[in-house]
Amino acid sequence: MAQRARQNFDIAIIGAGPAGLSAAAKAAEYDLEARAANPDHTTSHILIEGSPLHANTLQRYQKGKHVMDEPGYLDLRSPLEFGAGKREQILDTWQQGISDTGINFCPNTEVSKVTGSRGNFIIECANGSSIGANYVVLSIGTQGNPRRLGVEGDNSHFVQYQLDDPNEYQNEDIIVIGAGDAAIENALALAENNRVIIVNRKNEFTRAKQGNLDNVLEAINDRNMAFSCRYDASVKSLSVPEPGAVGTVTLNTARGDETLTCNRIVARLGSIPPRQFVERCGIQLPNSDPEAIPELDSQYQCNVDGLYIIGALAGYPLIKQGMNQGFDVIEYIKGKSVKPVDHPLLALKFSLLPYLADVDDILALYQQRVPMFSRLNALAFRELIMESDISYFVDDEQQISHLMQQGRAVQQQRINDINVVRTTDIQRRKLAGLPTKIVAPISEPIITNVAKSGEFIYHHNDYSNSFFTIIEGQVTLSSPDGSDTILGPGQFFGELSLLSGRPRIGNAIASNDTVLIETPRRTMAKLMAANDEVAKGIEIVFLQRTLQQFFTPQASYVELRDIAKSVNTSHFNTGQNIYQEGANGDHLYLIRSGTIALRRLERGNEIVIGQLHSGQIFGQMALMGDPVRRESAYATVRSELIEIDRKAFIALLKKSPDSIAKLQAETAKQLKSTAEMAALPEQASLMSFLLAQGTGEGTNVLLINENLCVGCDNCETACAETHNGISRLDRKAGVRFANINLPIACRHCEQPHCMKECPPNAIHRENSGEVYIDDTCIGCGNCETNCPYNVIKLSYQMPEKPPFLSWLFSGIGPGPGEDKAATPSKAAKEAGKQAVKCDACVDRPAGPACVQYCPTGAAQRMEPNDFIDVLNLR
């Protein structure tokens, strides 16, 4: 058989996904311009695709799928059109773009290997042909390698890893496993004709685009849809049925195992990069991790000279990002000096810093200086910086004023520059006879935040949870015991509250000339979910600092590194036993998050003898001379514990002998409290009742002493008068035990369920701990659904009542309290309902109105740590 003649091109693009299509369209534009000057110009590019059609991943999306164009803060720079819309519409637009731009598209050509380097690449194809190229752009994505469930039966007919047409299934019970965009979109499409449960192993959808997040939360909260979510859940086992029959899946959830029946499982757990093919092309990967992606320079070039990688394989799968990369990489190959589309926005973030450096130089400096950042792909790092705030601390008031004035001027200049670039690009495209796009006006980008050095970054016991990284200068962390820790460039802090949900421990103060990156919790959660190395790095520092805080204040983090690596972190579901009374123990436990109850068998009955919360230790007697457990321990809510064995415990005490006395005092205090509780079984039963109601995870719980309560309902009346005529508590609906009434009222949980995935971010927490909802609430009902204690309701804005004195002297109006007969106005109905909940009267100087106006003192708000006082044990 005669050997086929090799085709040779300047640029070969492998993979016709969004990034590859955009690169090919840009290369085709250069060919069009060259052909206009020289009609004999031959096509210098080729787009190679293994499947019959372009954008194979989108082709395999479910029919009618809505495709998003995030991130919204970035412009699209590509010869091809792209905007949010239906899958079919976007595919048709791109098909037309292939024709209009003259892309040299070669489908049904699977590439098996790439050899050579710049100026001499040989692309070997599965059909026996080969293609020569001076440059190769690899845009193959990762979608062909789905991640499996990892349990027996995950490769059976019962589990599918792709959904082509959701309308194929009718009136079925379907479980969708996954929390990313594909899982959400599949679940929502299936829910139109089926009963669907989506299973998320996290407690929120950290990896979802904002649009998908909004949609899935709306579905979860729509009582007319047969759609629900299991958070904090993972697949434990499958019972695979005969084809056509119903099977079961057992989930490991926060409240124990749950078995669900279903007709089928759709698993969308992401994909694994095609490592073997990548290595066959001579591309080096940074480590042996199956999910490792190539390391690239700032122009997307890998270790092979002349071979560029864009799109999902470059580390960022969003369509708009990939298309921008496709545009940029052709410009780089053509020798053009082009900056990424986010460059002017990053320049603003860095604009007031004391550097005379370009954006790329600053980014490179930051990645070099901070070990955690060095683990990130360059594109992921740029996104992290885009979503973070940059703060510069200086001590000169005049300098601060000058920088702020300068910042406003720079901000306006940058906006002008961006608009000039846009106008120039439109004019260029018109002159070249190329289509132009309508671009939305740019909003005011974020500039560097300038702050006074010496002021607090946060205070002790603040309920904030952002994550801080030091680039320049120093930050002093002052612990409650008076000791100081000074952190410098490359170090981070704030991880204790980020990971545990606990209030800040100690104060943080920045020195002069300090540069900080402050990253929101959601961004960090997304990053940690996507990057195991970053998650492990933050986790190990968390453990080092936790051990230092509780056992060895004088020891350095370096000294504690090996001990931190030896301890284990365990999760316990609600009601799950940690250890049993009478067993031999060889660990103590430090509560990272959650609440633990201690109980003992007394006269044949188990009674609660103590409760412990995040930041406390228990079980230490097993390592202090009494290995036999004198009580049982169980989790009253989903809890996370740090387990410290005898070897680690002894090593910690050797590093800080002074901590022994503190530990002994804390142990003696615990023993005294449990002994007193054990001696009073009625009080122990009351404690058991309170913990069973989930109060252990609260930080501000309302209790009413029924022996003192006279039923006047002043508490509800005062609440309604304080909150626009709507009471945020319900005394009568409260649960009761003995003389204690636990009314329906917010307990301001340590890790608030209601704050989880609020679409407009309308729920906030004061540094003092109160959780409240602002006026940006859109009434989606997500917080109402997520709250396990029924303390949130949706309500219209009620009409304003006549003044109190009008009612008192003239009888005008309904009087104090909630007017049950009131009806919302037409304007209020048009505005829609908003979420209403107790805010502990956060803005009221006198504190909670329900407590202040209780005439007998029966109503009191308290922390769970104060429950012992309620039981008259102290």
Region 529-557: what's the mean pLDDT? 81
Lowest mean pLDDT: which of 69-78, 238-247, 849-858?
69-78
Q: How far apart are CA 186 and CA 736, in angstroms?
A: 44
Going from the C-alpha of 473 to that of each of 1, 389, 518, the distances in angstroms are 70, 17, 15
Q: How far apart are CA 289 and CA 130, in angstroms?
A: 31
Residue 749 has pLDDT above 90, yes or no: no
Domain boundary assignment for the chain: 7-144+273-333, 159-267, 349-397+443-530, 563-685, 693-870
DSSP tag of 157: T
Paired sense of beta strands 45-48 and 105-106, if any? parallel
Instruction: Tell me what pLDDT residue 809 has.
Output: 64
Instruction: Tell me what pLDDT residue 380 has.
Output: 79
Q: How far apart are CA 635 and CA 254, in angstroms?
A: 10
Q: How far apart are CA 768 and CA 461, in angstroms?
A: 7
Q: How far apart are CA 424 and CA 334, in angstroms?
A: 20
Region 348-370: what's the mean pLDDT? 87
Instruction: Tell me what pLDDT residue 1 has.
Output: 36
Instruction: Tell me what pLDDT residue 873 has.
Output: 42
Residue 804 has pLDDT above 70, yes or no: no
Map tokens 């309170």 to a residue: 690
In 679-803, which residue ranges form alpha helices assigned H by DSSP?
Answer: 681-692, 714-722, 782-786
On the question of a common fold for 159-267 and 349-397+443-530, the answer reads no
Region 210-218: what's the mean pLDDT? 81
Instruction: Tell me what pLDDT residue 411 has.
Output: 62
Q: How far apart are CA 680 and CA 128, in angstroms?
A: 85
Lowest mean pLDDT: which of 101-115, 359-373, 405-419, 560-574?
405-419
Region 335-353: what's the mean pLDDT? 86
Would you tell me how many other CB atoms lie within 10 Å of the CB of residue 705?
16
Q: How far apart are CA 617 and CA 549, in angstroms?
A: 12
In 162-303, which residue ranges form alpha helices assigned H by DSSP?
Answer: 181-190, 210-220, 275-280
Lowest mean pLDDT: which of 44-53, 362-371, 760-769?
760-769
Q: How far apart are CA 527 and CA 357, in angstroms?
A: 27
Highest mean pLDDT among 49-63, 523-537, 719-733, 750-764: 719-733
Instruction: Tell me what pLDDT residue 697 has.
Output: 83
The upper half-sphere exposure of residue 789, i.e. CA atoms within 13 Å in the direction of its Cβ, equals: 28
Could you tell me the two tokens for 237? 């086992």
Give domain 349-397+443-530's CATH superfamily: Jelly Rolls (2.60.120.10)
Region 364-383: what's the mean pLDDT? 83
User: Contact 462/504 with Cβ under 8 angstroms?
Assistant: yes
Instruction: Tell me what pLDDT residue 316 has.
Output: 66
Fold observed for domain 159-267: FAD/NAD(P)-binding domain (3.50.50)
Fold observed for domain 563-685: Jelly Rolls (2.60.120)
Quote the mean pLDDT of the chain: 85
Percent of the chain with pLDDT over 70: 92
Residue 324 has pLDDT above 60, yes or no: yes
What values do phi and psi take at 103, rounded to 5?
A: -60, 130
Q: Where are the beta strands (DSSP E) in 803-858?
A: 834-836
Q: Please, which residues have CB within 8 angstroms of residue 642's CB and are 6 or more apart in sequence? A: 543, 546, 567, 568, 569, 589, 590, 591, 592
Instruction: Residue count of the chain, please give it.
Output: 874
pLDDT-derived band at 639, boundaries 50, 70, 90: confident
Q: Could you tell me if residue 55 is left (phi over 0), alpha (psi between -120 and 50 degrees) or otherwise beta?
A: left
What does the pLDDT look like over 434-464, one tens digit per residue?
Answer: 555 545 445 555 788 888 898 899 998 888 8
Instruction: Tell me what pLDDT residue 656 has.
Output: 82
- Which CATH code, of 3.40.50.720, 3.40.50.150, 3.50.50.60, 1.10.287.470, is assigned to 7-144+273-333? 3.50.50.60
pLDDT-derived band at 870, boundaries 50, 70, 90: low
Q: How far apart are CA 830 and CA 833, in angstroms?
A: 9
Lowest mean pLDDT: which of 114-118, 160-164, 224-228, 676-680?
676-680
What does the pLDDT look like over 810-836, one tens digit per residue?
Answer: 777 677 777 777 888 888 888 888 899
Q: Please, which residues have CB within 8 angstroms of residue 405's CB and are 6 or more apart in sequence? A: none
Cβ-count burial 190-219 (b if 16+ within 10 Å, e if not) = bbebbbbbbbbbebbbbbbbebbbbbbbbb
Three-class DSSP labels, 764-796: EECCCCCEEECCCCCCCCHHHHHCCCCCCEEEC
What does the pLDDT look like over 43-82, one tens digit per residue?
Answer: 999 999 988 999 887 777 767 767 777 777 778 889 998 8
Would you tell me how many other CB atoms lie within 10 Å of the CB of residue 256?
11
Q: Which of 194, 871, 756, 188 is nearest to 525 (CA)?
A: 756
Q: Is residue 23 classed as helix, strand or coil in its secondary structure?
A: helix
- Work out the end-to-end distance of the chain between its first and last CA atoms, rounded to an integer number of angstroms: 96
Region 692-699: what's the mean pLDDT? 84
Q: How far apart are CA 576 and CA 639, in angstroms?
A: 10
Could you tell me the two tokens for 678? 């054990």
Lowest mean pLDDT: which of 122-136, 373-387, 635-649, 666-680?
666-680
Map tokens 């289509």 to a residue: 435
Q: Please, which residues have CB within 8 angstroms of residue 866's CB and are 6 or more apart in sequence? A: none
Could you tell me the two tokens for 545? 């600092």
Q: Which of 586, 505, 596, 515 is nearest to 542 (CA)?
A: 505
| pTM as predicted | 0.71
Instruction: Tell me what pLDDT residue 423 has.
Output: 66
User: Contact 141/16 with Cβ under 8 angstroms?
Assistant: no
Q: Which of 370, 162, 178, 377 is nearest to 291 (CA)?
A: 377
What does the pLDDT look like over 401-411, one tens digit per residue?
Answer: 777 777 667 66
